[in-house]
Amino acid sequence: MQFTATQIALLVNGKIEGNPDATVSSFGKIEEAGAGQLAFLANPKYEEYLYTTRASVLLINEGQELRQSVASTIIKVPDAYTAFATLLSKYQELMTQQLSGVQDPSYVAKSATLGKNVFVGAFSYINDKAVIGNNVKIFPHVYVGENVHIADNSIIHPGVKIYHDCIIGKNVIIHAGSIIGGDGFGFAPQADGSYKKVPQIGNVIIEDNVEVGSNATIDRATMGSTIIRAGAKLDNLIQIAHNVEVGNNTVIAAQVGISGSTKVGNNVMIGGQAGVVGHIQIADGTKINAQSGVSKSVKNPNTALTGSPAYDYTSMLRSQAIFRNLPELEKRIMELENLVKQLLAEKASV
């Protein structure tokens, strides 16, 4: 599949400098790309490759100054990284649109509903009363439970399991191996020291334009719904417990765990391996540093936290600076103590 520089410029609202008929059929990194490939420059660290790359077409920022001639056809755009992401998305969309039909062997229940241009990969299982929207792509070895709804244009990658009654919105991407709607971790302690399972009768709702990484687990609610709001992005290996709500456009990095019934606000950023206890609220715009442990509600929007237990980021940096200086501070205190003792001794002898 080939594209000309003119076609690319139209897609990303860019301005061409060079040959408008230059063609590309694949993508490459600026330092490695060859003829017939498209690359981009967004990070100044790679500016040296602007003059040596063999890419046929190159996306750069409008403000990028050229210190010498460039062999590639250039397309100037407001944001090269965003433009490149747009092109990759379009390319992926075109590739997946070619997939349609139900491969054998697969099982699709008679009471299930499949929309237009749906693809169901081999060894997949679509249960009773499931509703699959238009242009949905379900790759091999996917399980779709009873009464699951998957809206238009969503992509479910290999090995994903979606339990009964869960709802998946439009343009959702769920990567390989993730589990949506497994039982929440609910057990009632008994007098004899054992634990009685609390049935989990709720579901999971994933709203539009959410992306869930590989091997993530989003547990169903005890009652009601565990909700991932529109635009949220979840990395690989994330645990979202029962009745959690994740706000709009919140991003969560790998290996984060969020305990039950916690409400995470909109536009929150959570770094890798952070842990959040249950039954608290995280205000909109909060930034939680990697490996932090959040043990109480964050009430003020746009707060930055770090540490375990997590507290104000700036205060933590000051504390770390003091901690690094503790040996020197100890030495100075000992010198002051010796000086005080000497002064007291001299006073006593007078």
From the list 69, 79, 73, the residue with the least C-alpha distance to 55 is 73
Q: Residue 46: how many CA atoms within 13 Å on its side-chain side?
A: 14
d(C-alpha 264, C-alpha 23), whole Å: 45
Coil vs helix vs strand at 331: helix
DSSP track, 50-80: GGT---SEEEEETTPPPSS--SSEEEEES-H
Coil vs helix vs strand at 16: strand
∠ Cα 255 257 263 (to 5°): 135
> Cβ distance 335 to 313 under 8 Å?
no
DSSP track, 89-124: HHHHHHHHHT--EEPSS-EE-TT-EE-TT-EE-TT-
Residue 185 tokens read as 């971790």
**Burial profile 53-69: b = 16 or more Cβ within 10 angstroms, e = fewer:** bbbbbbbbbeeeeeeee
∠ Cα 248 250 254 (to 5°): 145
Q: Which residue has the tokens 């709607």?
A: 181
Helix (H) / strand (E) containing 196 = strand 195-197
Q: Which residues are catalytically annotated? A: 242
